[in-house]
Chains A and B, each alone.
Chain A
Amino acid sequence: MLKSFRIGGIHPKENKLSAGMAIQSIALPAQVVIPLSQHIGAPCQPIVKKGDKVKVGTLIGKSVGFVSAQIHSSVSGTVLKIDKAMDASGYKRDAVFINVEEDIWEEQIDRSEALVTECNLSAKEILEKIAAAGIVGMGGATFPTHVKLTPPPGMKAEVLIINGVECEPYLTSDHQLMMEKSDEILVGITLVMKALNVQRAIVGIENNKKDAVALFTKKVKAYPGIEVQPLKVQYPQGGEKQLIDALTGRQVPSGALPISVGAVVQNVGTLFAIYEAVQKNKPLIERVVTVTGKEVQRPCNLRARIGTPLTTLIDAAGGIPESTGKVISGGPMMGKALASIDIPVAKGTSGILIVPTLEAKRKAMKDCIRCGKCVQVCPMGLNPTLLMNLTEYEVWDRAEKNAITDCIECGSCSYTCPADRPLLDYIRLGKGKVNGIIRARKN
């Protein structure tokens, strides 16, 4: 019996249409728009101005504050302007517009494909390199990686957990990266183990990626301390707390961070970025994006520079189908419907899902029939229908008591509700309000 998390979970149709499609690099666009806020935390301050020449890898946004990540130019060319541009949040935010000219890289970046396994850097130096490269969690949460790898005082990591689960339906970018860059990812794991000073790492891979499980099981033999664990196909297996539970049997307490049970979780995409940053001096300037959808001509996995317009990627997959009703950034469960496709690829863009009109339409909300399915599937053990009602009637103290802030926004409740109630929409609103109240109380 395969391992899994202990409560809740669903199994939506996998629809991994782009599975096995080799990662293709797409041609450089004529212009890139690099948002100055691509991570959780304070937005970056631009350090270039109109007319400046930049190379690939030039620092253009300096992070302010501890929870923040540097931003580098992903192309070479001239800075056109710093202006507001729409990003995936649906709001206009500051961004650097760069006109692309040629493809000149900063000298210190090693562009060769050769695998570098040797690393003589100390833990501190590795962390500094990760911070300088502006690496964030590539699974979608975009939390700055160097912050996550710096445990709070008094806490110590015991085990590193590698998230190769990719439990979101449709998305295949992590899967394909694991197939093509397995050695680089494994070196990345050893680097992070060194940075955290842990002796044990577990790679969790959902069992619908049997080829990746086999490949990693074969290759880890050369790397002491790393294990591979196939996992049951169950959403949200890739949730941080769910994955820790599945792999170690430890449960993260309500309101606490994974480090409180000695675990640090990193996504495979992040580990590849860490490898490139530490061994090749390459900042985070590109990522793998799955472009997919049932009506899309050529579902594919593309390597795109940060700031490339989504339209360029969609064109590479055969263009927008006529039947399109909705375009989602990310996967169908946790992704975000976009107000416009004239937005750039950011560090957290794991996929572009194009949904046909027939499937895009939300069904009308009906009355709750008290079936309790949402309670059954909630992987955090919450009571979604109660939390929705508490939010609707603004009973914030009770919402807080019922742990609304523990919600991981996986959407299992809304997915399973036979009355099509927008449970997550309300809970997300309530979670924001309660978090605001808690912050205000602390100050």
Chain B
Amino acid sequence: MSVILTAVATLGAIGAGSAGILYLVSQKFKVEEDPRIQEVQDTLPAANCGGCGFPGCAAFAAACVNADSLEGLNCPVGGEVTMDRVAAILGQTATKAAKKIAVVRCSGTCEERPRLNQYDGVSNCSIAAALYGGDTGCSFGCLGLGDCEESCTFDAIHINPLTLLPEVVEDKCTACGACVRACPKDIIELRKQGPKSRRIYVSCVNKDKGAVAKKACNVACIGCSKCQQACPFEAITIENNLAYIDDDKCRLCRKCVVVCPTHSILELHFPPRKETPPAAKEEEAIANA
């Protein structure tokens, strides 16, 4: 009997002693953490996508708490709602950042851009791009092997098996930028989502001369500069035979879309056009602006 008692007593004493040491050590080496960091982190979406520029939500929360103002800090996934909550916790005001979305700047579907050879290698855009220009005449366009789809943690971009081009699911895209980094051809860009998701962009990245680009793909930008001339707001620049619309300057008048001879400028989510004579249209655009 005494053996059992001795054992219990000894172990009990060791346990109590160890607990005491642990308590003292934990008090001595305690790390003071701002409780607000945890609070901010709890309001974040916990997607850990890195779209904010920080390695995960915890790092972003710490950055928000430690920063003097929330300027330049934005959670692309949570958007305005989340940032307002974060601002409320920290007693600051959130800066309004325009919601962005990924756009695929290539419209070279199988019909528009005939396949000239067959790629038989690994189904990976980066590997294919290192080997050659691609299976069409356009060496700038989408390879369609789905690096963007694989990189997306939100299930928001998919290769359409009919067109072999990626399509963005607008409700799911958080503009984290993973696909932008994954694309070896720099085709995907984050652009302002625009009011009612209305946006206009040049859906082509081909820098070849017009004739070469057009031969490779029916819907290539040929750098003719008609859109540049039509734009009343100087939002369009042409560099290396390729037009680019600055989404800060663009007022969504849609004039460039009409003049583009190759239909390489796309408009999204606009109401159907009224059949108005061109002169009236022009007045309307200026009035709208």
Q: Mark B128-144, 1 if CB is under 8 A from A, else 0.
A: 00111111000100000
Quick one: which of A350-367 are within 8 Å of B by CB? 360-362, 365
Q: Is the CB of B121 within 8 A of A92?
A: no
Q: Mark A336-356, 1 if CB is under 8 A from B, else 0.
A: 110110000000000000000
Partner of B132, one of A90, A365, A426, A432: A90
> What is the minimal beta-carbon distance from A47 to any residue of chain B, in angstroms?
22
Tell me the complex Cα distance, A337–B131, Å: 9
> What is the minimal beta-carbon distance from B19 to any residue of chain A, in angstroms?
41
Q: Is the CB of A428 within 8 A of B212?
A: no
Tell me the complex Cα distance, A361–B121, Å: 9
Tell me the complex Cα distance, A273–B130, Å: 30
Query: Which of A90, A360, A422, A428 has the largest count of B CB atoms less than 10 A from its CB?
Result: A90
> What is the minimal beta-carbon distance from B138 to any residue of chain A, in angstroms?
10
Q: Is the CB of B120 within 8 A of A428?
A: no
Given A339-B117, A340-B117, does the pair A91, B130 have CB atoms closer than 8 Å? no
- Decide if A211 is an interface residue (CB 8 Å cutoff): no
Q: Mark B101-141, 1 if CB is under 8 A from A, else 0.
A: 00000000000000011001110101100111111000100
Tell me the complex Cα distance, A89–B132, Å: 6
Quick one: which of B213-249 are within 8 Å of A by CB? none
Tell me the complex Cα distance, A84–B117, Å: 20
Q: Is the CB of B127 within 8 A of A360?
A: no
Partner of A91, one of B116, B124, B127, B133: B133
Name the A residues within 8 Å of B149 (CB-CB). Answer: none
Name the A residues within 8 Å of B135 (CB-CB). Answer: 339
Q: Is the CB of A362 within 8 A of B127?
A: no
Name the B residues within 8 Å of A432 (CB-CB). Answer: 130
Q: Mark B150-183, 1 if CB is under 8 A from A, else 0.
A: 0000000000000000000000000000000000
Name the A residues within 8 Å of B116 (CB-CB). Answer: 339-340
> What is the minimal beta-carbon distance from B125 to any residue of chain A, in angstroms?
10
Given A90-B131, A90-B132, A429-B127, does the pair A362, B120 have CB atoms closer than 8 Å? yes
- Decide if A14 is an interface residue (CB 8 Å cutoff): no
Name the B residues within 8 Å of A326 (CB-CB). Answer: 120
Q: Is the CB of A426 within 8 A of B122?
A: yes
Q: Mark A415-443, 1 if CB is under 8 A from B, else 0.
A: 00000001001101100100000000000
Q: Mark A310-345, 1 if CB is under 8 A from B, else 0.
A: 000000000000000010000000001101100000
Chain A minimum-CB-distance residue to B212: A84
Given A84-B212, A425-B127, A429-B126, does the pair A90, B133 have CB atoms closer than 8 Å? yes
Q: Is the CB of B121 within 8 A of A91?
A: no
Query: Which of B116, B134, B139 has the largest count of A CB atoms less than 10 A from its CB?
Result: B139
Name the A residues within 8 Å of B117 (CB-CB). Answer: 339-340
Q: Mark B205-216, 1 if CB is under 8 A from A, else 0.
A: 000100010000
Chain B minimum-CB-distance residue to A422: B122
Tell me the complex Cα distance, A336–B117, Å: 14
Q: Is the CB of A84 within 8 A of B133?
A: no
Chain B minimum-CB-distance residue to A428: B130
Chain A minimum-CB-distance residue to B119: A339
Tell me the complex Cα distance, A91–B134, Å: 9
Given contacts A91-B139, A362-B121, 15 further A-B contacts (CB under 8 A): A86-B133, A90-B133, A92-B133, A92-B139, A336-B131, A337-B131, A340-B117, A360-B120, A422-B127, A425-B121, A425-B122, A426-B127, A428-B127, A429-B130, A432-B130
4 tightest A-B contacts by CB?
A: A90-B132, A422-B122, A425-B122, A91-B133
